A and B are shown apart, each in its own frame.
Chain A
Amino acid sequence: MTTISSGRTAEAPTVAPDLPDRTPPRLPELGPLELLRWMWRQLTSMRVALILLFLLALAAVPGSVIPQTPQNPAAVRDFVAAHPDAAPWLQRLGLFNVFGSIWFAAIYLLLFMSLIGCFVPRSWQHAAALRAQPPATPRNLSRLPGYRTFRTTAEPVSVVAAAGQALRRARFRVVAEPGTVRAEKGYLRDTGNLLFHLAVLGLLVAFAAGKMYGFRGSALVVEGDGFTNTVTQYDTLTPGRMLDPDQLSPFTLKLADFSARYLEAGPQRGQPADFAAVVDFSREPGAPMQTARIRVNHPLELGGVKIFLGAHGYAPVVTVRDADGAIVFHGAVPFIRQEPTSLASGGVIKVPDAVPEQLGFDGFFLPTAAFDPNLGPISTFPAALNPRLVLTGWRGDLGLDAGIPQSVYRLDTRKLTQLRAGSDAAAGPWRTALAPGQRAKLPGGLGSITFDGYREWVNLDIAKDPGRLPALASAALALLGLLLSLSIRRRRVWVRASADEAGRTVVELGALARTEAPGLDGEVDRLAARLRERLGVADGDGGSDRVLGTGTDLPVRDRD
């Protein structure tokens, strides 16, 4: 007798939803080839795919808890300093670069191997299923979850014709035979599922390719200064493995203006409201200059390279004269923001050309200066409403000639002496607070420093990712596949018409879905109702509607 399960497996490969899992893992006694095949079968089983998915999720966790070098190198340095014992171990395990670590790669590569091993045979099966006919009508329809029956005076031939027509109109694939109709629908579900898995694979490829052939970098540019897209002009640059750094697109640009607007009142006073930069650029040497505005969320795109606004700040412009009155330094010096909300910024000015001794200054730029009795000079607002440059000074050897690269934001004070406010030993450090245009004499006739004004700077984040659009396309296809797969039900309906002793025709309907199919009951009900209406019900036998209704759905509220 044909049972439900044989009905399901009439076309075995596509019907059983979880084929590879049925056999429990059993170690074979055979040679290496068998072992390999066994391992492959395990790898491509649903259970292992599930476990690998979990491992992937689990493996991502430390990447969000422990600071990561690619995202935040400074936080990693702090972390290493704070945990000197654990840090080397974490380092060895790759925990400061989880998403670039071997073990993370191992997990997703295994998962994608599993995916391919799962995808290929399923595609073949599905291709075959697309060409196949709905399976034969099970002998005992009443054992199917969706079963309806009634009797009619119409001939079996017209029952079959009517059922075939109704099912075709409902876009089922229909095969009508003497006395029975078999129909199937919802092939798009599996197409969608395969599309989804393929697109996830495509997403990985696009992501990896984008990383390999793209780059990311950033460069601090002061208003009025320019930038040429070559390796040396970057402050940081992470080129992809397959990228030739000499082949960066050859644009140049000049930061004409940067402006930031801040909320001026209310509890959020000082919070940025908008940033914008105006740049003059040319796509390649000799090309005409053009002008563009870059705003947050609105990058400038030049030949596949995108230019974004990153951090920004102030660069005080100063002039330093030495003991002889000669100008030994003039320029804008970027100061780095110390306090994100008030933009109080710190920085140093190095004057190696001063005679008789080199000079160095360090201090603060306060965009809206105020004096706090406890904290001293502070900034109360990020816009330059009342700018002050607060400095202390040093003399001696800046250490620039030692050949060791030095941070431009820090003074190496080992060979420097701090300038004092007076000549006696008790005098405190020399310190000055300048408004724009003001000049301060240095103690001991060493010269003077003038605060001419300020310019703004902005970090340009520059990135190229050729995998961007393929990744977007893959993601969109994955979403499409997912929607198809999760919203469509693959289901089969059979109708049988047979004569009973009284010369009437018994009509039986049976339906089966491969997976959970809410609404299948209703669908069969509607079909049964239509057939009853078309064929007429033999008197006294309206039939039974829920002989074996699935009974597994929530009761639906009756609505009209």
Chain B
Amino acid sequence: MVNETLAGISYNFVVSATAVYALALFAYVAEWAFGARSRVGRTVPELVMAGGGDAAVGGVGGDTNAEAPLSADGPGPDGVPAPDAAGVDRAERLGRIGVSLTVLAAGLHLAGVLTRGLSVGRVPWGNMYEFVTAGTLVVVLVYLALLRRFDARWLGLFVTMPVLLALGAAVTVLYVDAGQLMPALHSVWLVIHVAAAVIASGCFTVGAVLTLLYLGLDLRARRGLGPAYIGARRLPDPDVIDRLAYRVFAFAFPIWTFAVIAGAIWAENAWGRYWGWDPKETWSFITWVVFAGYLHARVTAGWKGRAAAMIALVGIGCLLFNLFGVNIWIIGKHSYAKM
């Protein structure tokens, strides 16, 4: 029934993915550190031309970063005196290594999720370990998707960090052996419901990362500090990040809505009521209402910007509490979705 060999292989894939994410994070951090020391005086487009070849998927060649119009010879905006082209090059290379490592890790991660599913002959999102491994995969895939479309490598650092933490927790404390599910969980609606919930949670997480970044940069800007950099690249303006966060949330919200509806259909099939205020249901309702509030706040005078961002953070808090807190502290009908 359970293919133990395959389950073992899956675990090794996930652990390796975790290790490679750690390396990727290391590369991003190094990019940041090198860039901070040497960044000035070069616009990124020039750099890219100098740097030549492209990285793997989502590589950064050919980007135009019109947002970094630093003059070629004058001092940088922070008054750092001299350009250090070699250092900038190195930072740029490290950033690209980070992206390549992220892609590699995502491949291992995907293999881990797939083999887990194959080992038990069902979809691999039946307990918390599986939910977290699948959810973090979505986070990384959303990042890579953004990277394909936008010049968004600066996100790498902020995405790999939480992913690494969550995966680390998954392979250590959350891990449960591959196994069969309770009969109530044998349902197509479960598959659909949890798949949608995993995808929405992953997107919400990316949105939260962007929101935190927005709040940080906004604070920086209000303090009158200059623009922020990762490596040689200037981070976009806070407003731009805020807008991107909105797009990610607006993408995730209907998926979450669908997940809640699918869950209700499943509950109706399993228990005879589509909504019964079970703690898990209650918290997904709370999450939904808070994000509806976020979408409202974005069009309400006086609530745009920071207030709306805080609401989104409350929403992500509710989402995480539903995922972890409710499973751990509160017992309901869902409690067999055990750790």
Contact = CB atoms under 8 A, between A and B. Distances in A.
Q: Do A and B bind each other?
A: yes
Interface of A: 17-18, 21-22, 46-47, 49-50, 53-54, 56-57, 60-61, 63-65, 68, 70-71, 98-99, 207, 216, 263, 266-268, 271-275, 295-299, 306, 308, 461-463, 465, 468, 471-472, 475-476, 478-479, 482-483, 486, 515-516, 518, 551-558
16 contacts: A47-B300, A53-B290, A53-B293, A63-B282, A216-B273, A266-B2, A268-B179, A296-B186, A297-B187, A308-B270, A461-B271, A462-B272, A463-B273, A483-B254, A557-B148, A558-B64
Nearest to B44: A555
Contact of B240 (A46, A54, A554): A554
A515 B236 CA distance: 21
Interface string B223-253: 0000000000000100110011011001101
Given A57-B318, A71-B277, A472-B274, 5 more contacts: A46-B301, A64-B330, A296-B184, A297-B266, A555-B66
A273 B269 CA distance: 18
Contact of B180 (A273, A471, A555): A273
Contact of A274 (B183, B289, B297): B183
B279 A472 contact: no
A50 B277 contact: no
A479 B330 CA distance: 29
Contact of A475 (B148, B247, B264, B303): B264
B235 to A, nearest CB: 11
Contacts of A54: 289-290, 293
B289 A479 contact: no
A556 B299 contact: no
Interface in B276-315: 276-279, 282-283, 285-286, 289-290, 292-293, 296-303
A272 B254 contact: no
Interface in B51-80: 62-67
A555 B277 contact: no
- Report the contact-size class of chain B (Cβ under 8 Å from the partner): 35 or more
Contacts of B251: 486
Contacts, number: 173
B268 interface: yes
Contacts of A465: 272-274
What does DSSP make chain A's interface, helix, strand, loop or mixed? mixed
Given A18-B300, A65-B330, A556 B62 contact: no
Given A21-B300, A555-B63, A555-B66, A60 B285 contact: yes
What 3 pairs across the A-B complex have the smallest Cβ distances? A463-B272, A64-B279, A64-B282
Contact of B236 (A461, A482, A483, A554): A554
A283 B143 CA distance: 56
A22 to B, nearest CB: 6
B257 interface: yes
Contacts of A556: 149-151
B299 A60 contact: no
Contacts of B250: 486
Contacts of B243: 516, 518, 552-553
A21 B183 CA distance: 51
Interface string B69-98: 000000000000000000000000000000
Contacts of A50: 293, 296-297, 300, 303
